[in-house]
Amino acid sequence: MHKHLATLLSLSLTLSAAAQDNVGTAPSLTIYNQNFFVARDHLTLDLKPGANHIDFAGVTAHLEPDSVILRDLTGRPLQILEQSYRADPISQEMLLSFYEGKTIDFQIQRGEKFETFPGKIIRSGYASGVTYINGYPQGVALQPIVQVNGVLQFGLPGQPLFPALSDDSILKPTLTWQLTTTQAGRSEAEISYVSGGMTWQSDYNLVVSDGVKNSSTNSLDLVGWITMQNHSGKTFENARIRLMAGDVSKLQGSVSRNAYRLEAKAADMAAAAPVVSEKSFDEFHLYTLERPATLHDNETKQVEFVRATGIQSQRLYIYDGAQVEQYGYYSPEQVRNDPGYGTASNPKVWVMQELKNSEANHLGIALPKDAFVFTAATPTAACNSSARTASTTRPRMK
């Protein structure tokens, strides 16, 4: 059967030898649509017998420390005596806090000349007690206070000049381990962890064409996009990416443990069918990007994942007589118990497109729920269908 469905998530069969070598060390991401993900990455461990101090600065700014798993890929026994996670990279505000009550130099430019003068840091303005909501920092910094020539002023009088960094200063979020092993040497290891700061969503554009005259049947062309947002504090180069659709909070136990369970099942399914871009298991759908992608920090990346033409749909007119806009924040029980419910009429008629998601109708792939945007191909179609509609009036899927 000829399929009109085309995907742009296929892995090229002509990979170079260098690219094949890179697959084994490339990071792997399983991204959930709930602002968290599971990351797997690689690092080299050069250990001596006994205790070893290891710093790894290749992690995110929203890592969950209790989810970290470190294992040696050669099977060498490792024992983690101690693990520390720091997500406070050095900044100007933090350095100012180290010198509160002390005098440092400041520099300003007057014309083509630079002038240096001393100033005492009364208050740095650094907010150390940062709280996190949904994986994002919510701290509020105060304005610094500096004393220059016996006079207090808010704000910095110039560019602060700091001495050398202290030995415990970090430039990126860092995991630190005290490791011990009975086998010295150099080998590759794998680290996996759960982190916040990354999510994904799907968006669909549909073009409605005229059907048979005086008929409610229309023909649709569909293009679906996957949009990934990375606010994790880390860039992932040439990552292998899987996207999980489903509500992990419905499961029993911790999010990190369940995320690992689902991620392991997803890895098994992807290994069994590497050319398949969508698989379903339990109450979840797995979408695999067969082509590696780079996700930069604070980047929004889009990938086209489905394209279909000639989808047959039926236009429906739906009228719900009760006006319910005023009940936006009510529960269904509260709406039913409202004495005024049903006394006001709704003047609107919904125009909907009903289509069957099947291979016979040029689809047959589970589509993540999200916003559908309709565009009329002709003026006649525009009269018969909503030109643009939000997710509240998306197509009815059979």
**DSSP for 178-210?**
EEEESS-EEEEEEEEEEEESEEEEEEEEEEEE-
Whether the pLDDT of residue 2 is over 80: the answer is no
Taking a C-beta distance cutoff of 8 angstroms, is the pair 51, 218 a contact?
no
Q: What are phi and psi of 381, to 5 degrees?
A: -65, -35
- For 262-278, write each residue's pLDDT tens digit: 555 555 544 444 333 56
DSSP-derived pairing of the beta strands 198-209 and 371-376: parallel
Q: What is the pLDDT of residue 20?
A: 41
| pLDDT tens-digit map of 283-326 | 677 888 888 999 999 999 998 888 888 888 888 888 878 777 77
User: Residue 262: CA atoms inside 13 Å, Cβ hemisphere, count?
Assistant: 35
Amino acid at 235: T
pLDDT digits (tens, 9 = 90+) for 317-339: 888 787 777 787 888 888 888 88
**At residue 268, what are phi and psi to the nearest 5 degrees?**
-65, -45
Q: For the segment 371-380, what is each residue's pLDDT rounded down to a tens digit?
A: 677 776 665 5
Mean pLDDT over residues 215-224, rounded?
Answer: 81
Distance CA 159, CA 189 (A): 43
φ, ψ for residue 76, nearest 5 deg: -65, 135
- What pTM was estimated for this model as a whole? 0.68
Tally of CA atoms within 13 A in the half-sphere of 118 that contains its CB: 8
User: What contacts 80, CB < 8 A, 6 or more positions away?
Assistant: 70, 177, 178, 179
190-215 per-residue burial string, b: 16 or more CB within 10 A, e: under 16: ebbbbbbbbbbbbbbebbbbbbeeee
Please check whether residue 180 is in contact with residue 52, taking contact to mean a CB–CB distance below 8 angstroms. Answer: yes
Mind listing the pLDDT tens digit for each residue in 22-62?
Answer: 446 889 999 998 889 999 999 999 999 889 999 999 999 99
Per-residue pLDDT band for 8 (boundaries 50, 70, 90) equals very low
Residues 176 and 168: their CA atoms lie apart, in Å, by 11
pLDDT at 85: 93
Say whether pLDDT at 19 is over 70: no
Arithmetic mean of pLDDT over the chain: 77
Q: Which tens digits make up the pLDDT trace of 64-104? A: 999 999 999 988 888 999 999 988 887 888 888 888 999 99
Closest CA to 384 of 222, 205, 211: 211
Interval 192-202: pLDDT, tens: 999 999 999 88
Task: Of 198, 220, 222, 397, give the one whose Cα is nearest residue 305.
Answer: 222
Percent of the chain with pLDDT over 90: 31
